[in-house]
Amino acid sequence: MNVAVACDHGGYPLKDAVLEAVRAAGHHPLDLGTDSPASTDYPDYAARVAAAIHAGQAERGILMCGSGVGICIAANKHKGIYAAICHDTYSAHQGVEHDKMNVLCLGGRVIGTELAKELVRAFLGAHYSGEERFERRFLKTVAVEQEK
């Protein structure tokens, strides 16, 4: 699977570990920046990942900022992007299995590199279950998105 990866300066300390974890899980990372710890704006990187998913260049994305909050909010403004901050492995896999999450958001000032690697493995190893109750709930969410 192709995985779009991007961060602002606050998420930059996790970037190399995340790229390594994507590769170690047998997937192909698409590195969309940033390439330095210089100050940047997180909405720009959320937009890059959303665009890669919309264009079919990536099936999932991983975004990082200082807390994970700002980049998650920005990502969820893009149609078809279902992003969540996950700082525990249960949420990282359950978000995919039950909620069809396609973008994992991490806080570079909140978690360390080893936990980030575990979260990436959990996220990328998960598959949407497609159970009726989860699909019903997901379609209700999509309906809200269509109203915008």
Any idea which residues carry the catalytic annotation?
A: 65, 98
Among 27, 23, 34, 100, smallest CA distance to 63 is for 34
Q: Where are the alpha helices (DSSP H) in the chain?
A: 12-24, 42-54, 69-76, 89-99, 113-125, 132-147
How deeply is 133 buried, as exposed, middle or buried, from its count of CB atoms within 10 A (0-12, 13-18, 19+)? Answer: exposed
Q: In whole angstroms, what is the distance from residue 115 CA to residue 45 CA?
A: 22
Ordered alpha helix ranges (H), 25-62? 42-54
Q: In what order do the strands lie in the sheet with 103-107?
A: 28-31, 2-7, 60-65, 103-107, 83-85
